[in-house]
Amino acid sequence: MRKRTYRSKRRGTAAVEVAVVLPLLCTLIIGAWEVGRLVEVKQLLCNAVREGGRQAATGNQTTAQVQQYVVNYLTTNGISGVTTSMVTFQDLTNNAVKDPTNATQMDRLRVSVTVPYTTFRWSLLSQITSDTSLSASADWFSMLDSPITVNTSIPTN
């Protein structure tokens, strides 16, 4: 008669443990991956609107140029599918101003971008949240110089 060892009684235990733990482990890994991607994209959006706001604050760029600058920044950094219609410019000090070239010195300017998840997601985020987009905005003050006049006549006293 063969003597059964402890090892033969536990045969297949590791396979059962893996079958139980693997789905949970995969879910955690994919979740961490998705959250990491969201953080990365949010950082890229913040950088893009900050740079767009800097361009607007100079007073040398039109709204269309600022929007294109933000789109180019995101495209260069791997966020494709963003259009200029997703980028907005606002003069918070004077709502009538629609172009940064018309802003006056120290006007508060805001550049915003809203990007749908479909342009950057890697998994089925829509099953977890009802949000459909990620957005960022940056505020700057217009750095446009005030024009000065110089008296060119020489005093004759």
Output the domain CATH number for residue 93.
3.30.1300
Number of structural domains the chain divides into = 1
Instruction: Give me the numbers of helices (H) and strands (E) for the chain, helices first please.
Output: 3, 3
Whether residue 73 lies inside any domain: the answer is yes
CB-based contact 138:46 (threshold 8 Å): yes
Whether residue 13 lies inside any domain: the answer is no
Domain of residue 45 covers 20-121+130-141
Whether residue 104 lies inside any domain: the answer is yes
Output the average pLDDT for the chain. 87
Whether residue 9 lies inside any domain: the answer is no
Q: What percent of the chain lies above the pLDDT cut of 90? A: 52
Whether residue 11 lies inside any domain: the answer is no
pLDDT of residue 156: 77
Whether residue 15 lies inside any domain: the answer is no
pLDDT in tens, 28-79: 998 888 888 888 999 999 999 999 999 999 989 999 999 999 999 999 998 8
pLDDT of residue 145: 78
Confidence of residue 110 (pLDDT cuts 50, 70, 90): very high
DSSP readout, 30-66? HHHHHHHHHHHHHHHHHHHHHHHHHHHHTT-S-HHHH
Whether residue 4 lies inside any domain: the answer is no
pLDDT in tens, 66-90: 999 999 999 999 888 899 999 999 9
Whether residue 149 lies inside any domain: the answer is no
Which of helix, strand or coil describes residue 151?
coil
Q: Where are the beta strands (DSSP E) in the chain?
A: 87-91, 108-116, 133-141
Which of helix, strand or coil describes residue 139?
strand
